A and B are shown apart, each in its own frame.
Chain A
Amino acid sequence: AENEPSWETPCTKLLIYVSTPGCDGFPSLDSNESYKLSVSKGSVLLSAETIWGALRGLETFSQLVGRDENGTYYINETEIVDFPRFPHRGLLLDTSRHYLPLKAILETLDVMAYNKFNVFHWHIVDDPSFPYESSTFPELSKQGAFNAMTHVYTASDVRTVIEYARLRGIRVIAEFDTPGHTLSWGPGAPGLLTPCYMGKAPSGVYGPINPIVNSTYQFVTSLFQEVSAVFPDFYLHLGGDEVDFTCWKSNPEIRAFMIEMGLGEDYKKLESFYIQRLLDIVSSLGKGYIVWQEVFDNDVKLRPDTIIHVWKENSMQYLKEMANVTRAGYRALLSAPWYLNRISYGQDWIEAYKVEPLNFEGVPEQKALVIGGEACMWGEYVDVTNLTPRLWPRGGAVAERLWSNETVRNVQDAYARLAEFRCTLLGRGVQAQPLYVGYCDHEFGGV
């Protein structure tokens, strides 16, 4: 019969051939992640330009191995030539709204690798807490962490994350978001934040980083000197989102500064003033940067190689933003339709899957400036008790959209594959939640 399995000599070896050595290096935005996988009678060969491509191919290979009713492992003859559509395929985790234990981060990196994500965007500090242990400014976490003994990331923890990620071909891009989202920086860095005023007197409340004092820029220089050394990736994420101007407006010194500098009543110009100086500092440290879209929207003078992170989602306006950003010549990252923290009833992975990042008005050169996107898992309602089921398998929809060809968009087919992949995740010990009714051969035992 034609389709009888030929039980010849079982394959015992997967041969991996990598043409350019580089196992000791770090993955970068320009890394070549392409690979070829060739499975035939008597030979199983995975070949790639770089080790990063080999890692992607290895993941694919592991997904091709099946097991029959007799317990025999098998793999179909196959020829695969694969490479990612977008080079930047990221996941954002927020360790400030809730501390995430190291184990949770490492497990997430594992599952990212299963999904061929290659960027871990570590939104490490924010208003509620400062868990990053800085060697230059130890008071920041001492005063700013939820608990300075138990809810911090030591230098060793950070190194562990970076290396664990590297071994999976994942870049770690740290975000130290300023000048807003910095309340937790205040206790450990007196004089850094703007004191808000109620009439003539300070109200006791603080606002964004104070942009008018030199000490701010000395602090920022020292901190980013450390951060640039600690995080090996070329890029740093500098934040710049949601700066609330009310506190600045209330502060008499700042108001005086505005007049002195001829900025009038336009506080966006003050924000630009800060950001421009920050960008110069970071550039001089030899790093590239990514910023949230407000920095672009508020007309800050940016270097041409700045990457703009598009996140504001109000009824598909993000496509307009993508057009604007790329028309201005900047590279863009898309996150707006992929805020996985925004849960809702039903199969919301479908909406994430249907997103087409290049569905905006623009010439091919513009579209080429879209380097990828990121699924975001903001932490207001997320900690280790619910991170994994909330993130997977929904995150997989974004991962496929960013890796696969734009023609791969059939929802029914995706459902079948994603549901099976979810069972695979369960088999690998990942607490991924169900897509819909059904079951897996190996169910999760329950906590």
Chain B
Amino acid sequence: RYYEYMFGHSRRRTWGRGPLAARAEPELFQLQVVIEAGDPGCDRHPHLTSSEAYHLTVTEPVAILKASEVWGALRGLETFSQLVHEDDYGSFLVNESEINDFPRFAHRGVLLDTSRHYLPLKSILTNLDAMAFNKFNVLHWHIVDDQSFPYQSIYFPELSDKGAYSSNLIYTPTDVRLVIEYARLRGIRVIPEFDTPGHTQSWGKGQKDLLTPCYNGGQPTGSFGPVNPVWNTTYDFMTKFFKEISSVFPDKFIHLGGDEVDFSCWKSNPEVKEFMKKQGFGIDYAKLEAYYVQNILDIVSSYNKGQMVWQEVFDHKAQLKPDTVVQVWMANNYASELSRVTGAGFTAVLSAPWYLDYISYGQDWKKYYSVEPLNFPGSEEQKQLLIGGEACLWGEFVDATNLTPRLWPRASAVGERLWSSSNVTNLQDAYRRLTNHRCRML
């Protein structure tokens, strides 16, 4: 794959002929890739603690790329491919170099939303390629939401039968496996998000009695709200559903959502109100949300999966597991939120300043690049708990017609911020390298 990236678009149309006669200049014949660990990881999936460090020595006649695990080798291969350039006569050149590289943050992700608009497989795979070019290592797949449910579930086929936009706009188990494997080969983890209890309108189409019926003046209105937290059937369903998800998605983590739960429907429902009384929650519906979330966290934990949640779950004081990862997304004063989350001992992932769906006129990549994730009040231990960030491309106004130009190269700014050292901040230099990188991605 990397051979094609480096030499595939050569100006020289006669490539493929034998080697030229011996030249006077030093020549590089080979790149040797050495993976040092006993278990290089080639047959496994990457995870949060994988080693992505590599050492690259470019010198004649043989260049050496050394990494502890295959994931580091992939990163080094990408770097090497960026060092190779073509001159005006069709010769490929690379400078003598010695590079010792490793990522600053271990979690460097891109969020794609396949519910507001269906994204064809090709689009997702192209995006995984682009992510690899930018050393991103997590695809946060926000796969279902209010508008549509394209995930074809094995246990509950009705969910996509009734919930997808249409019968061909779904992801079959084969499709999902393809995405996971395509990502794996690029050292990218796939973390699926099944967001509940809010953002679930489409679930109700294929699963009767899952969502809360809303009431008005003692009568059901016919519309539904978030997942119903008071019925046992809800937890029976979630137990079975997350059993499937846990086996379909190999990553250690599943994202459970938990954002933007609108309490008004719960408040209108007599059974829910009754339940609130019984549990002694008073009129604090955040407690009901926490009750629900805690149950889901338990279910998912029992399948030996870690959980990621949006910040509301933490903010509304649900009891999280010690290794739950909190994703900070609300832009207002996110530095304080980071302090609070890490201050409480939880790991955090930052997205708030990186909502790439918020387009605006001009070179907005600069403001993404200028973010310093550790710029929040906190101790050394706290700062260690910020494990990285994610560029989010929500899908309200995005589908395959505009995804690639909207995401890239703006996301590259986030990619560098998450990989490179904190002192790599010069905008003019970044502009020069980013315009070059953009042409390379073309």
Contacts and interface: CB of A to CB of B under 8 A. Distances in A.
A413 interface: no
B24 interface: no
Interface size class of B (residues with CB under 8 A): 20 to 34
A346 B397 contact: yes
Interface in A371-407: 381, 385-386, 388-390
B117 A439 contact: yes
A389 B359 contact: no
B360 to A, nearest CB: 6
B359 A344 contact: yes
B404 interface: yes
Contact of B360 (A343, A435, A438): A343
Contacts of A426: 401
Nearest to B125: A446
B3 interface: no
Nearest to A426: B401
A416 interface: no
Interface in A146-187: none
Nearest to B408: A385
Given A431-B401, A444-B400, A343 B166 contact: no
Nearest to B355: A345
Interface string A406-447: 000000000000000000001000011111111101011111
B405 interface: yes
Contact of A437 (B119, B147, B405): B147
A345 B358 contact: yes
B88 to A, nearest CB: 12
Interface in A338-372: 341-347
Nearest to A446: B123
A300 to B, nearest CB: 30
Interface string B359-401: 1111100000000000000000000000000000001111111
Contacts of A437: 116-117, 147, 395-396
Given A386-B405, A443-B169, A341 B118 contact: no
Contacts of B121: 446
Contacts of B148: 439
Given A438-B117, A439-B165, A433 B401 contact: yes
B401 A389 contact: yes
Contact of A436 (B119, B357, B397, B402): B397
B23 to A, nearest CB: 28
Contacts of B90: none
B349 to A, nearest CB: 23
A344 B361 CA distance: 6
Contact of B442 (A341, A381, A385): A385
A443 B396 contact: no
Contacts of A390: 402
Contacts of B397: 345-347, 433-436
A436 B394 CA distance: 12
Contacts of B361: 341-344, 381
A342 B405 CA distance: 16
Given A433-B397, A434-B397, A446-B119, A389 B169 contact: no
Contact of B399 (A347, A381, A385, A444): A444
Interface in B284-341: none
B402 A433 contact: yes
A343 B117 contact: no
Interface in A315-354: 341-347
A193 to B, nearest CB: 26
B219 to A, nearest CB: 28
B169 A434 contact: no
B208 interface: no
Interface string B126-168: 1000000000000000000001100000000000000001100
Contacts of A344: 359-361
A443 B357 CA distance: 20
Given A386-B402, A434-B399, A437-B147, A443 B360 contact: no
B120 interface: yes
Contact of B401 (A346, A347, A432): A432
A431 B402 CA distance: 8
A388 B400 CA distance: 13
B17 interface: no
Given A346-B397, A434-B397, A434-B401, A439 B357 contact: no
A73 to B, nearest CB: 21
Contacts of A443: 118, 120, 169, 399-400
Nearest to A422: B401
Given A389-B405, A443-B118, A434 B398 contact: yes
B438 to A, nearest CB: 9
Contacts of A433: 397-399, 401-402
A343 B116 contact: no
B9 interface: no
A215 B122 CA distance: 57
B166 A439 contact: yes
Contacts of A435: 397
Among A344, A346, A390, A437, the one with the most B-chain Cβ atoms within 10 Å of its Cβ is: A437
Contact of A447 (B165, B357, B362, B404): B404
Contacts of B363: 381
A186 B400 CA distance: 41
Given A434-B402, A446-B121, A446-B400, 10 more contacts: A344-B361, A347-B397, A386-B405, A388-B401, A433-B398, A434-B397, A437-B116, A437-B117, A443-B118, A446-B122
Report, nearest first, the 9 A-B pairs whose CB atoms are least far apart.
Answer: A446-B123, A386-B405, A389-B402, A446-B122, A439-B165, A446-B400, A433-B402, A437-B116, A444-B401
